């Protein structure tokens, strides 16, 4: 190993060693080091193993940050989220299409003001970090400045973030519409400005088929041809009314996905959110093109869109990650989102284990984004994005934890009972970017914030 390191972290580490093709293989890949050591050189992991093996590596007097009693996991990956919808989370009473008209479009209109965008974007990034999410695939609004401010702020944290300006040219209020040519030019400028700059990547973002004319989709295709390694993100088959509308708008297409596929928008860098009502041919097309799905359980329940078939995704070998889909999703918190994924799966008699759930939220999502060589676990050489979890923060969690005798049980308890209170610290690029507030409770915070240094 490289003897050079700047940070040493001791604690209880849990991650998943390698990507898998079947859920049954996950158990073999779970890696738990109850008393471990991780050495970082700036933002990179240079050594990871047991404390017993590694304790002589830090020289005498070197400060080791001691998180014993807490659980350290890779940073969570949010595969689908709309930052401009942060302020309209929990909007009452509608299903997808009315929800868009009544709440979403008016809220997104406010992002023509850069100051507003900047304020919400800063709040949004703090929400991600205080929930342990270190990488996200993010929708902006149609306004290019919405993405500029988000990337600028993510760059200040050196966060690995993928985002794009929404493209849409019909079926939305006039102030949110653009021409296909304008959409192309503005997106092109943003790609050139942000894509591949340190840890930022661009995602071409046609909102969904109903807000896209064939001319707009042709411009999206043109951009993808010009920039083949950028991402593409959009929505697919979320709501039955939406699916029928797409069939009416694109009568020549075989199915909803075929609208995108016929413009070359499927592929290994494409992420389709929801995918609740897919036909067999659409599953096959996603699989054959190595496209990925963002499973957004709290959103699907909130808008009563439907139940995602996780088992089918495995059967069809379609790559997948978990999205919160805020503001249709009801939380930024990945633990709560995994809890919802469990319930959605239970309703279909598929048992989502804690190991599988954490896989989707970390290495699995990373694999779906083709970032496996960079993040997702604690392998040497990976970028140091991780979360320090407090396993029990409430009296109920403590009681339940005391009654737990395996890591699998503790992880499952966390995804059913856990929330942002369980996020003790978040690291991005090897640095603390969030730590639990001292005001939580006097008792808890003083103890919780005490940092022990061991030499
Ligand atoms: N379909 C098109 N736009 C949106 C959106 O903003 N949120 C969700 N959940 N679905 C969409
Ligand atoms: Zn969405």
Domains of the chain, first to last: 2-74+376-453 (2.30.40.10), 76-352 (3.20.20.140)
User: Three-state SS across 220-238?
Assistant: HHHHHHHCCCCEEEEEECC
> DSSP letter string over 198-261?
TTEEEEEEE--GGG--HHHHHHHHHHHHH-TTSEEEEEES--HHHHHHHHHH-TTSSSHHHHHH
269 in Cβ contact with 231 (< 8 Å): yes
- Write the pLDDT tens digit of every residue in 400-429: 999 999 999 999 999 999 999 999 999 999
- Residue 104 Cβ inside 6 Å of ligand 1? The answer reads yes
CB of residue 82 inside a 6 A radius of ligand 1:
yes
pLDDT of 219 over the 60 cut: yes
| CA-242 nearest atom, ligand 1 | 1
Residue 1 has what pLDDT?
52
Ligand 1 centroid to residue 296 C-alpha, Å: 11
Per-residue pLDDT, 18: 98
Position 449 confidence tier, pLDDT thresholds 50, 70, 90: very low
pLDDT at 442 over 70: no
Among 47-61, 80-94, 296-310, 439-453, the minimum mean pLDDT is found in 439-453
Ligand 1 atom showing the smallest separation from residue 208 Cα? 2
- Span from the CA of 152 to the centroid of ligand 2 (angstroms): 22
Task: Report whether pLDDT(452) > 80.
Answer: no
Residue bearing the CA closest to ligand 1, atom 5: 100
Rg for the chain, CA atoms, rounded = 22
Q: Report the DSSP beta bridge partners of residue 9.
A: 38, 65
Terminal Cα distance for the chain, rounded: 21
Number of neighbours of residue 237 by Cβ within 10 angstroms? 24
- Enter the pTM of the model: 0.95
pLDDT of residue 437: 82
Q: Does pLDDT of 296 surpass 90?
A: yes
Instruction: Check if 165 has its Cβ closer than 6 Å to any atom of ligand 1.
Output: no
CB proximity list for 384: less than 8 A, separation 6 or greater: 7, 38, 40, 43, 44, 45, 427, 429, 430
For atom 7 of ligand 1, the residue with the nearest CA is 328
Chain segment 357-387, per-residue pLDDT in tens: 999 999 999 999 999 999 999 999 999 999 9
- Report whether pLDDT(450) > 60: no
- With a 6 Å cutoff on the Cβ, whether 256 touches ligand 1 is no
Burial, 443: exposed, middle or buried (Cβ in 10 Å; 0-12, 13-18, 19+)?
exposed
Give me the pLDDT at residue 445, please: 40
How far apart are the C-alpha atoms of 39 and 430, rounded to whole Å? 10
pLDDT at 390 over 70: yes
Dihedral angle over CA of 343, 345, 346, 351, nearest 10: -120
In this structure, are residues 147 and 138 in contact, taking their beta carbons and an 8 Å threshold? Answer: no
Q: What is the mean pLDDT of residues 263-287?
A: 98
Alpha-carbon dihedral of residues 440, 85, 341, 265, nearest 10 degrees?
A: -140
How far apart are the C-alpha atoms of 152 and 149, rounded to whole Å? 5
Q: How far apart are CA 226 and CA 23, in angstroms?
A: 37
Reduced 3-state DSSP string for 159-196: CEEEEECEECCCCCCHHHCCCHHHHHHHHHHHHHHHCC
pLDDT at 438: 62
Point out the ligand nearest to the CA of residue 138: 2
Residue 85's nearest CA partner among 361, 329, 346, 305 is: 329
* β-strands 423-428, 431-435 pairing: antiparallel
pLDDT at 133 over 90: yes
Q: What is the mean pLDDT of the chain?
A: 95
Ligand 1 mutation target, pool 94, 238, 249, 276, most atoms within 8 A of CB: 238
Residues 181-192: what's their mean pLDDT? 98
CB 265 within 8 A of CB 303: no
Q: Which residues contact 93 (CB under 8 A, 6 or more apart)?
A: none
Using the predicted structure, report yes or no on whether residue 234 has a pLDDT greater than 50: yes
The CA 325 to ligand 2 mean position distance, Å, reads 5
108 lines ligand 1 (CB under 6 A): no
CA-to-CA dists, residue 114 to 28, 69, 144, 156, angstroms? 48, 43, 10, 18
């Amino acid at each position: 190993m490289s003897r050079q390191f700047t940070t040493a972290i001791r604690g209880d580490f849990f991650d998943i060693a390698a990507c898998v093709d079947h859920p049954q293989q996950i158990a073999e890949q779970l890696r738990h080091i109850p008393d471990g050591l991780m050495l970082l050189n700036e933002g990179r992991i240079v050594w990871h193993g047991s404390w017993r093996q590694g304790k002589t590596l830090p020289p005498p007097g070197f400060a080791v940050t001691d998180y014993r009693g807490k659980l350290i996991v890779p940073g969570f990956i949010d595969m689908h989220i709309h930052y401009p919808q942060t302020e309209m989370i929990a909007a009452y009473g509608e299903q997808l299409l009315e929800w868009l008209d009544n709440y979403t479009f008016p809220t997104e209109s406010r992002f023509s003001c850069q100051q507003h965008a900047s304020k919400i974007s800063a709040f949004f990034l703090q929400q991600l970090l205080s929930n342990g999410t270190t990488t996200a695939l993010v929708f902006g609004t149609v306004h290019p400045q919405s993405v500029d401010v988000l990337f600028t702020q993510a760059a200040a944290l050196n966060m690995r973030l993928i985002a794009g300006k929404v493209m849409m040219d019909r079926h939305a209020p006039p102030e949110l519409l653009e021409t296909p040519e304008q959409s192309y030019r503005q997106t092109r400028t943003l790609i050139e400005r942000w894509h591949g700059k340190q840890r930022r990547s661009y995602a071409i973002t046609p909102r969904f088929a109903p807000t896209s004319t064939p001319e707009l989709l042709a411009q999206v295709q043109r951009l993808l041809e010009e920039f083949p390694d950028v991402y593409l993100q959009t929505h697919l088959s979320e709501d039955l009314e939406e699916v029928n509308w797409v069939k009416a708008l694109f009568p020549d297409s075989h199915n909803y996905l075929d609208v995108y596929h016929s413009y070359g928008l499927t592929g290994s860098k494409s992420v389709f959110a929801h995918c609740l009502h897919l036909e067999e041919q659409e599953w096959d097309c996603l699989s054959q093109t190595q496209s990925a799905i963002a499973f957004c359980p709290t959103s699907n329940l909130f808008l009563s869109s439907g139940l995602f078939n996780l088992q089918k995704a495995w059967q069809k070998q379609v790559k997948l990650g978990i999205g919160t889909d805020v503001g249709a999703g009801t939380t930024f918190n990945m633990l709560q989102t995994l809890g919802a994924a469990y319930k959605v799966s239970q309703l279909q008699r598929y048992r989502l284990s804690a190991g599988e759930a954490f896989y989707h939220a970390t290495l699995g999502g990373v694999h779906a984004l083709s970032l496996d060589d960079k993040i997702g676990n604690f392998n040497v050489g990976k970028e140091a994005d991780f979360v320090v979890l407090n396993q029990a923060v409430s009296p109920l969690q403590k009681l339940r934890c005391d009654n737990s005798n395996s890591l699998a049980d503790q992880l499952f308890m966390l995804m059913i009972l856990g929330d942002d209170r369980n996020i003790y610290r978040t690291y991005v690029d090897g640095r603390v970017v969030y730590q639990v507030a001292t005001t939580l409770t006097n008792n808890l915070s003083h103890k919780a914030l005490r940092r022990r240094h061991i030499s």
